Chain A
Amino acid sequence: MFSNTSISPEDLPSVEFLEYQPLHPEYRQIMILRVLVFNAVLLVGLILYVAFNGVALHWIGVIGISFLLLVGVQILIAYRNFAYKGYAIREHDLVYTSGWLFRKWTAISFNRIQHSEVSQGLIERMFDLSTLEVFTAGGSSSDLKIGGLPDKTAHQLRDFITKKIARDEEE
């Protein structure tokens, strides 16, 4: 397989077996909080709907239970997902992995990064965590978003990437 290539792919380091840096433990709470906030908004909508339309009592029960179940599943997914998130910085690239049920590994070579940003959402600010976003020319499908980084780490990473890009270009 792929024997015509001059480098044997077996000799190359594999992204699947890297040591990934986990995200800040408090990020798990943020992820769950986000689920709750999102569903709270939904709940308000649901309640308004029920209040204005006069739904029969047993239907309220059915809707309520299925809503709770859905929220439970979302929380479970968020809770489990956290453990699978992590990033690794290698000599030439940045690798990010995520997803409990649907696993994902994304690798971006430093010499393809266009720019990077650090952002902080409302919930994140309460925990003093930040999100690092890395953009390539490949559009949204190839952009990376690493949440749950301590504010300082996020800025350090961004500066590191910026320097790395500059150095790559000098070579």
Chain B
Amino acid sequence: MRKNEPLDLHIPHRQSPLAILVILYEFIRRILSAFWPIVLIYVVRGRTSGQSGDPVYLYIGIGISLISVIGSLISYFRYYYYVTDTDLIIEKGLIERKKITVPFDRIQTINTEQKIIHQLFGVVKLEIDTAGSKKKEIAIDALEQGVAEQIKSFLLLKKKYLQEESSKRKPTPPSKSQDLHQVEPLIRLSITDLVKIGVSQNHIQTALLIIGFGIGFLDDIQEIINFDLYTWIQGQIGQASASYAIFLLMVLPFLLLITFIITLIRTVIRFYHQKVWIAGDGIQLESGLLTRHQSFIHRQKIQRIQWSQNPIKRIFKLFELRIYQASSQQEHAKKTNQIPGCYREALEALRDTTFPRKWFESMDYVRVSTQYRGRLWLYFGILPGILLGFLGYLQDGLPGLWFLVWIPLVWWWAGIVVRRWHIGLNDYALYLKHGFWEVKEDFIPVYKIQAVRLKQSPYQRSHQLATVSISTASGSLEIPYLPLDLAQRMMNYLLFRVESSHLAWM
């Protein structure tokens, strides 16, 4: 296809033939990224032992390569894109035949991307974001630059045309963003605030991250360099019966200190001098030590907000506020806007900007069933507790039974979790309060809900209970163990509100 030749998009087209190479590259990259530790170990082992390796692996390698090549060829030849009067259509599928229909007016953004592989072949990837759904936006892997530009402008034109059509009926007032730097921000984090925030951050999360990463990494390394840390520590302590408990006791304080320092540093780097303004039709954020991040949260795009407080934050009278925007799943992390520390007045001011005040008022509250406590206790307390006690007994004899303390501890924890759960509902919004250490309060305007789901396990069925799951364009929330009739009424009510609402959720 020539670059400047106008394209008739109404007839099916294939991608650029170079797409075969791009698909192949993606195929191999994905396989390698899944199996790199195996490959690494194999390579290192093969080298140290001086052998050329087991031929079985070679055959597997050749087999995988062959499958990749054939797979890429087939995917290329079975891939078509074209447009109808209202939709963009992509037909594809290696084994399954798939037809993807994207109505023009559902298209949110169209981006072109050029990774190194694309640059190498002079092609681009066209990504069409429809705000959510299935793993990711729809993408056409490899197109000649000219073709991509043509499709992009064609789609944008169609989308714009459709939008103008609809805005003729429902005019929306244009909004202007003002120059913010002359306005006093609502929040301006001082150094003391920043330290308070750093101290009260969720250290457990960081600790788990470090442990998880550390253990995974350690195993790989041990495997490669043939060194057993555990035996080494046993040797150092000079005790043959060193159990994991002693190991933990040695490492734990050290770990806590590192965790604390790391979170503190992370907090400072990320939130240094954070400023928050309430602007014309949204919220403007700015923060960062090394790189200043600026973001603007469009009021329309906010799907839910969550404010939370842990006991340390409560001492400082600080709240953490998260503002969730609609986005594709992949980008969730990026688009969650976090205000790690704000005082009550600022929180209320921000809340009032996002949604009308009356949405927050006169809620009716219900609670989750107390049966939930027993279930939590069974799954997180009794079963693991007995297992731990048994293993402890096998390892250390009677003292190992100390692990059984876990069981009453979890009973206490489950009691607090259940007592905390509050579900509020009014004509406009759903409110959820929950959490053990971090008490979270979620607020979701009902018309932002995408789907409602009711779930029932055999236990729940025999006790007339159900779990309600609510999906929004920025993640789902679960309300566990509601009495069945309440859960049903809630589902029906939420659906009714969603269906009768004429507000645009985005």
**Which residues from B are CB-within-8-Å of A135?**
130, 132-134
Judge if B69 is at the interface, Cβ distance under 8 Å.
no
Q: Does residue B114 face the partner (Cβ distance < 8 Å to A)?
A: no
Is B101 touching A116 in the complex (CB atoms < 8 A)?
yes
Which B147-182 residues have C-beta < 8 A from chain A? 166
* Given A109-B495, A112-B505, A115-B101: A6 in contact with B451 (beta carbons within 8 A): no
In Å, the complex CA distance between A133 and B97 comes to 13
Interface set, chain A 116-144, CB cutoff 8 A to B:
116-122, 133, 135-144
Residues in B with CB closer than 8 Å to A158 are 101
A137 close to B326 (CB less than 8 A): yes
Chain A residues, CB < 8 A from B133:
114-115, 135-137, 139, 143
Q: Are the CB atoms of B364 and A5 closer together than 8 Å?
A: yes
| Interface size class of chain B, counting residues whose CB lies under 8 Å from the partner chain | 35 or more
Does chain A have a CB within 8 A of B506?
yes
For B446, give the chain A residue with the smallest CB separation: A5
Instruction: Indicate if B30 sits at the interface (CB-CB under 8 A).
Output: no
**B451 & A114 in contact (Cβ 8 Å cutoff):** no
Q: B488 at interface (Cβ–Cβ under 8 A)?
A: yes
Would you call B499 and A137 a contact (CB within 8 A)?
A: no
With A2-B366, A111-B499, A138-B471 known as contacts, the answer to whether A119 contacts B455 (CB < 8 A) is: no
Question: What is the chain A residue whose CB lies nearest that of B95?
Answer: A122
Task: Tell whether A114 pairs with B130 under 8 Å between CB atoms, given A1-B364, A5-B427.
Answer: yes
Within 8 Å of chain B (Cβ to Cβ): is A157? no
A171→B502 CA distance, assembly (Å)? 9
Distance in Å: Cβ of A33 to nearest Cβ of chain B:
15
Let me know if B10 is at the binding interface, CB within 8 A. Answer: no
CA distance A71 to B95 in the complex (A): 25
Q: How far is the CA of A143 from the CA of B501 in the complex (A)?
A: 21
CB-defined contacts of B366 to chain A, threshold 8 Å: 1-2
Known: A1-B364, A5-B425, A102-B455. A136 touches B101 (CB 8 A): no
Taking a contact as CB atoms under 8 Å apart, the answer to whether B99 and A119 are in contact is yes
Please, how many angstroms separate the alpha-carbon atoms of A112 and B503 in the complex? 11
* Complex: A148 Cα to B326 Cα, angstroms: 32
Whether the pair B493, A2 counts as a contact (CB closer than 8 A) is yes
CA–CA, A118 and B100, complex, Å? 8
Q: Is B75 an interface residue (CB 8 A)?
A: no
Instruction: Please tell me if A103 contacts chain B, counting CB pairs below 8 Å.
Output: yes
7 contacts between A and B (CB under 8 A): A2-B489, A4-B425, A7-B496, A103-B454, A104-B454, A112-B498, A135-B130
Interface residue ranges, B against A (CB under 8 Å): 86-87, 93, 95-103, 105-106, 130-135, 166, 326, 329, 362-364, 366, 425-427, 449-458, 461, 469, 471-473, 475-476, 486, 488-493, 495-496, 498-499, 501-502, 505-506
Nearest 5 A/B pairs, CB to CB: A137-B132, A138-B471, A138-B450, A142-B471, A142-B451
Interface contacts beyond A14-B488, A162-B87: sample of 9 additional A-B pairs, CB < 8 Å, sorted by A: A5-B493, A93-B495, A102-B455, A114-B133, A115-B133, A121-B95, A122-B96, A136-B471, A137-B450
